[in-house]
Amino acid sequence: MFKVLFSPLELGSGLSLPNRIVSTGHDTVMAHHGHVTDRLIAYHEARAKGGVGLIIAQVAGVHHTARYTSHMLMADDDSCIAGYRALADRVHAYGTKIFGQLFHPGREIMETDDGTAPVAYAPSAVPNSRFHVMPVPLSQAMIDEIIAGYASSARRLQEAGLDGCEIVASHGYLPAQFLNPHVNRRDDCYGGSLENRMRFLSEVAAAIRAEVGQNFVVGLRISGDERDAEAIAAQEVLDVCKALDAEGRLDYFHVIAGNSASLSGAIHIVPPMFYETAYVAPFAALVKAIVTKPVIVTGRINQPQIAETVLANGQADLCGMTRALIADPDMPNKAKAGKADDIRACIACNQACIGHFHKGYPISCIQFPETGRETTLAARKTPARSRQKLFVAGGGPAGMKAAAVLAERGHDVTLFESAPQLGGQALLAQLLPGRAEFGGIVTNLTREMEIAGVTIKRNTRLDRETVESERPDVVIVATGALPRRPAFEGIEDAHTVTAWQVLKGEANVGGRVVIAEWKPDWIGMGVAEKLAREGRHVRLCVDGLMAGQTLPFYVRDEMVGRLHKLGVEIIPYARLFGADENTVYFQHATSGEAMMMEEVDTLVLSQGHERVSDLVDALEGYGVPVHVIGDALSPRSAEEAVLDGLKLATLDVFG
């Protein structure tokens, strides 16, 4: 099925990759004090074991001024070598090759280790709009020092046994800042003409090659389209690639999109599901047409068939499939074995991967929480010593994950779902504009249960009578939640519906709508977009700092932009207070003063959820062990529901 994808490829002077699948550089938040850890090694080992051809480890700082987060790797002294060597040895054991990224953020610094404002360095004193950092212009002495840092860091990776390195000139980081005339205002030999602006990058490549010789792969990562109003022109990016290729120091080019400096550009660092798959491939094809070295393309390539199409069309030579490998580390082996239907496809929700990173937590996946927990929860998925008869009530994400893992461990598991379809609230999430891909979580978890041998009973509600008659050893309750309808003054007078009713088509919604949202997440924003696209005037009133406050940044920022284009009014700090026939009353969350939304036809409630616990109450005192997970325990998101299922299924009581 995937003839090109699983063909070997040679990079540099004789390095042979077993296939064209790449786990590209991405921060895992698993480094400690700048060094590789056992947790990070186990994370990459899982992907090597799963059959990936090339792993490019996350960015490593080349200079003490390169610490853009408090949890990044550093390669600026020899203390890094031992950790990298251990990582390389574990990855090489499976035939996978491994590179390391060499990095300096310039002005793109997110945080410091003590919470104070950073001192950042850049070509010129031009601030960014995302982190609001005012950089210090680099002196010639510091430029020389940083270039030397790139070279010495590459030498350390080589000494540690890695197969190559990648210069990160993408996403508006330091080399890209030199290239960009909007950011580089220098009047010396590093500024002005394109030849001058690419001098820094050329000198970096030359210094690295002089340090490591010809038998170590050196590549370049660059943004083809920075998606920013003050971006380097796309044609200049092509000119840079062509010129660097002619210099002969690079072994490959890695094309991606986006820019860290702005909210609009940063979305494309890890594009959410609103963007079509492989949308960067057309620009990669332009690069491939003008360079002599192989090209990697990255950007929403989440399935092997998509990668195969990109490669077969000649748009690139390798495909970065990082989130696909986060969602399913075994994706390459499954694809190669002809088991494409068994692959757990990434749905680009961004919740536990980049969403965790932005919160400073180790990355994972909402569908596969074993990711990032290879040394803990994943290690506990061992065969059970004795087979138990287990009933799971509820076929949402929590129940499905628990059932799949328990059956995988060898238990006799029956899942009861009262509805015709599995999926719970995920079935509603997929109905929102641009969110259809979220339904993939249902497809993927259903397939996990089928592979594991779970007995699935749809249209069947588990009750005490069934438990008493069939006598399972354990009952797991994952019956989910229902929309919360809080009591407030005037609820009988206003035309009030819930977000669920809107999504299910059960509500007659008027032309002027107010959405009252308690938790600023995807529900209120998604319903607002749906109703605005249907031609209604929409005001989204949020009991929080901003719409989408709890969402991953790139999802939130993309959705805010979509709502702005549709003319949706967003009112923050708005706590629902009351309503009448045509007015909804809010209380400002901090001042306490009244906020009135007049001329309202319909009030849509997105006021959180209340757990469904009827079965828990019914089984009280019966004597069978009962475990409660997911929203039936406490209404949260799909991430916590699936994690609840995994945590429960790996308990010693089921061992």
d(CA 146, CA 123): 12
d(CA 107, CA 127): 7
Distant-in-sequence, close-in-space partners of 194: CB < 8 Å, separation ≥ 6:
179, 236, 239, 240
What 8-state DSSP symbol labels residue 259? Answer: B
In 10 A of CB 93, how many CB atoms?
11
What 8-state DSSP symbol labels residue 135? Answer: P
Q: Is 173 in the active site?
A: yes
150: Cα within 13 Å, side-chain hemisphere? 31
Closest CA to 612 of 520, 484, 519, 464: 484
d(CA 235, CA 287): 10
Please identify which of the residues 173, 190, 252, 585 carries the catalytic annotation: 173
- 121-159 burial, b for 16+ CB within 10 Å, e for fewer? bbbbebebebbebebeebeeeebeebbebbbbbbbbbbe
Express the helix, strand and coil content of the chain in percent, nearest 5 each: 35, 20, 45
Q: Tell me the H-state helices in 250-362.
A: 263-266, 281-290, 304-312, 322-327, 331-336, 354-359
In 10 A of CB 536, how many CB atoms?
17
331 touches 19 (CB < 8 A): no
What 8-state DSSP symbol labels residue 267? Answer: G
3-state SS record for 605-635: EECCEEECCHHHHHHCCCCCCEEECHHHCCC
C-alpha angle 622-628-631 in degrees, rounded to nearest 5: 140
- 606-640 burial, b for 16+ CB within 10 Å, e for fewer? bbbbebbeebbebbeeeeeebbbbbbbbebbbbbb
Which residues are part of the catalytic machinery? Answer: 173
